[in-house]
């Protein structure tokens, strides 16, 4: 390291590694991980989200999890929460659908209407 600019580079990279501890995230992806969700493949869905988000370098998106939400017949269920926007709930998710949500919703900002099962303020 020789200059302040070099320091800044290291900082940006290190900040990405610490993003889980940062509360300033743009979008939260919440995967329902109740017993039925896991039985229907919620873990694979979650891993896909994690991998895709990492691969696309989306530093401001956070993947977290929650318990049973009461949509057992539509598991796995995934919520996408963004400040100032309606909460979007996707149902019957799988690996392919997860990839599409990352590409269209998280990157381009357009919810994938065909998978949506509920929205709320």
Partner 1 sequence: MPTKRIDLLICCGSGCISAGSLKIKEKFIELLKENNISDEVNIIETGCMGPCDFGPVMMIYPEGIFYKKVTVEDVQEIVVEHFLKGRPVKRLMEQDKEVPVTVKDDIPFYQKQVKVALKNCGYLDPESLDEYIALGGYEALGNAMTNMTQEEVVNVIKKSGLRGRGGAGFPTGMKWDFVRKAEGSPKYIVCNADEGDPGAFMDRSLLEGDPHRVIEGMMLAACATGASKGFFYIRAEYPLAIKRIKKAIVDLKANALLGENIFGTDFCFDIEVRTGAGAFVCGEETALIASIEGKRGQPSPKPPYPANSGVWEKPTLVNNVETLANVPTIFQKGAEWFASMGTEKSKGTKVFALTGDIANTGLVEVPMGISLKELIFDVGGGIVGDHKFKAVQLGGPSGGCLTNDHLDVKIDYENLLEKGSMMGSGGVIVMNDTNCMVNIAKFFLDFSVDESCGKCAPCRIGLKQMYAILDKITKGEGKPGDIEELEVLGNSIKQLSLCGLGQTAPNPVLSTIRYFRHEYEAHINEKSCPTRVCLDLINFNIDKDKCIGCSLCARRCPTSCITGSREEKYTINQLECVKCGNCLDVCPVKAVSKEAGMHPDIIQHKEKLAREAEENEL
Residue ranges that bind partner 1, judged by CB under 8 A: 1-4, 7, 10-11, 13-18, 20-21, 23, 25, 31-35, 38, 46-47, 50-51, 54-55, 57, 62-67
Kindly state the smallest distance separating residue 92's Cβ from partner 1, in Å.
19
Provide the phi-psi class of 30: left if phi over 0, else alpha when psi is between -120 and 50, else beta: beta
Q: In the complex with partner 1, which residue's Cβ is closer, 55 or 117? A: 55
Q: In the complex with partner 1, which residue's Cβ is closer, 20 or 113? A: 20
Kindly state the smallest distance separating residue 94's Cβ from partner 1, in Å.
19
Q: In the complex with partner 1, which residue's Cβ is closer, 24 or 113? A: 24
DSSP letter at 105 equals I
Kindly state the smallest distance separating residue 45's Cβ from partner 1, in Å.
12
Tokens of 79: 């919520």
Q: In the complex with partner 1, which residue's Cβ is closer, 50 or 95? A: 50
Interior/surface letters 80-114, b for 16+ CB within 10 angstroms, e for the rest: bbbeeeeebbbbebeeebbeebbeebbeeeebbee
For CA atoms 72, 35, 43, 69, give the dihedral sign.
positive
């Amino acid at each position: 390291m020789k200059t302040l600019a070099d320091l800044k580079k290291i900082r940006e990279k290190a900040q990405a590694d610490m993003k889980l501890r940062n509360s300033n995230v743009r979008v939260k992806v919440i995967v329902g991980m109740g017993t039925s969700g896991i039985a229907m493949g919620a873990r694979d869905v979650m891993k896909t989200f994690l991998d895709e988000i990492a691969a696309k370098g989306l530093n401001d998106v956070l993947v977290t999890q929650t318990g049973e939400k009461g949509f057992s017949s539509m598991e796995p269920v995934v919520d996408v929460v963004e400040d100032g926007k309606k909460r979007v709930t996707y149902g019957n998710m799988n690996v392919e659908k997860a990839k599409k949500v990352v590409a269209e919703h998280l990157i381009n900002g357009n919810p994938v209407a065909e998978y949506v099962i509920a929205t709320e303020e």
